């Protein structure tokens, strides 16, 4: 769709209608369940609709697994991560089930606190992860996020920005109050049969 000839207000309306149509289509075909709280927003970047490209990390990426061994549930605490390394902008943060953790309470809620950098290359929440992950401030994921277990709650009044998001059952992504989900990848930026509420 070429929208370059439209005034900016009309382009915004076209983008909004496209995003709503996309989400409605996903709900109707059963690929995602949508229960949107008041004032939460899902935004599909205009780049998706006019042939633009999503943002991905060009640096080599490591996968760093959450252990929760630090006992405080804070993402910024190196003791909570495998190898005592907090994931950064070129890393993928991985959350897996209790059996892979060093501490008995390792699957306690994980919180992306204010001291955490706020940028990742990717996010993977595996089906056997059963706890909550709460984002306490805006988070940008330059590549893909996959939530197959647990509950990922986006920040209240701030955005989770991600190139693409796949939610598989029993995974849940919950938009925080007045929160926003920005999807910027090409193709189908939102997929899966899990719950987006």
pLDDT tens figures, 118-159: 999 999 999 999 999 999 999 999 999 999 999 999 999 999
Higher per-residue confidence, 93 vs 102 = 93
Do the domain assignments include residue 178? Answer: yes
Do the domain assignments include residue 3? Answer: no
Q: Which of 150, 155, 120 is nearest to 136 (CA)?
A: 155
132 near 151, Cβ under 8 Å?
yes
Do the domain assignments include residue 41? Answer: yes
Do the domain assignments include residue 115? Answer: yes
Do the domain assignments include residue 1? Answer: no
> What range does the domain containing 173 cover?
8-196
Higher per-residue confidence, 103 vs 67 = 67
What's the average model confidence in pLDDT over 63-85? 96
Domain count along the chain? 1
Do the domain assignments include residue 2? Answer: no
State whether residue 153 is helix, strand or coil.
strand
What span, in angstroms and rounded, lies between the C-alpha atoms of 157 and 22?
24
Q: What is the pTM of this model?
A: 0.71
What span, in angstroms and rounded, lies between the C-alpha atoms of 162 and 9?
25
Do the domain assignments include residue 135? Answer: yes
* Dihedral over Cα of 159, 165, 169, 171: its sign: negative
Do the domain assignments include residue 145? Answer: yes
pLDDT above 90 as % of the chain: 60
Q: How many residues does the chain have?
A: 197
């Amino acid at each position: 769709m070429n929208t370059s000839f439209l005034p900016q207000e009309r382009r915004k309306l076209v983008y909004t209608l496209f995003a709503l149509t996309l989400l409605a289509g996903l709900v109707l075909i059963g690929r995602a369940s949508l229960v949107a709280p008041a004032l939460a927003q899902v935004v599909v970047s205009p780049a998706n609709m006019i042939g633009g490209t999503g943002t991905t990390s060009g640096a080599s990426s490591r996968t760093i697994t959450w252990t929760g061994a630090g006992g405080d549930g804070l993402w910024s605490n190196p003791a909570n991560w495998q190898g005592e390394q907090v994931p950064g902008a070129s890393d993928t943060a991985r959350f897996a089930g209790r059996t892979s953790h060093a501490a008995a309470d390792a699957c306690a809620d994980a919180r992306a606190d204010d001291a955490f950098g706020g940028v990742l290359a990717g996010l993977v929440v595996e089906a056997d992860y059963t706890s909550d992950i709460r984002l306490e401030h805006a988070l940008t994921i330059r590549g893909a996020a996959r939530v197959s277990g647990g509950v990922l709650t986006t920040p209240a009044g701030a955005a989770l920005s991600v190139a693409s998001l796949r939610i598989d059952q029993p995974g849940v992504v919950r938009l925080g109050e007045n929160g926003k989900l920005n999807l910027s990848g090409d193709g189908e930026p939102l997929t899966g049969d899990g719950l987006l509420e």
